[in-house]
Amino acid sequence: MSEKIDLSNYVLSENDEFMNANQKAYFRAKLIAWKNDILREARETLGHLAEESANHPDLADRASSETDRAIELRARDRQRKLISKIDAAMQRIDDGTYGYCEETGEPISLKRLDARPIATLSIEAQERHERREKVYRDE
């Protein structure tokens, strides 16, 4: 199995065997790169927040700073949740369930996985899920 794969040169092909060793290595590398980007951004945010903690004498400046901080922390919280989804996707690669719809067991299209590597539902199952969610939300 090719653990080191060049993301810039590898081309996913629907003609290859689904979730072969190269595809698994490709998605693992993509997930790891995504996670590393998130962690790097989180470190930058911590540095920025530490610098920004100065007291602002002007009430409007302080309020603006607090609002920016709250938005930044909310974004980091979403990314923290995303990291757990990335870790779960890598676990699915390890246990052989990655790329298969949790609802139907059918393969998820490579295009969908390439666009959303943490996807657990096929497009059809995701659409059904969203329609049900919308119906219950509208009641």
In the predicted model, what is the mean pLDDT of the chain?
86
- C-alpha 119/C-alpha 106 separation (Å) is 13
- Domain covering 18-98 assigned CATH 3.40.50.2300 in the classification: no
Alpha-carbon separation of residue 107 from 101, 111, 131 (angstroms): 6, 11, 21
Q: Read out DSSP for 29-97?
A: HHHHHHHHHHHHHHHHHHHHHHHHTSPPSSHHHHHHHHHHHHHHHHHHHHHHHHHHHHHHHHHHHHHT-
pLDDT single digits (tens) 29-57: 999 999 999 999 888 877 776 666 566 67
First-to-last CA distance in the chain? 50
CA distance 121 to 101: 4
Look up residue 119 and give its amino acid.
A
User: Whole-prediction pTM value?
Assistant: 0.78
Grouping H, G, I as helix, E, B as strand and the rest as coil, residue 100 is strand
> What's residue 21's pLDDT?
92
Candidate ranges 9-13, 70-74, 104-108, 132-136; pick with highest mean pLDDT: 104-108
Q: Tens of pLDDT along 46-101?
A: 777 666 656 667 777 777 777 887 888 888 888 989 999 999 999 999 999 999 99
- Domain boundaries of the chain, sorted by first residue: 18-98, 99-138
User: Which residue did the predictor score with more confidence, 107 or 6?
Assistant: 107
**pLDDT score at 9:** 79
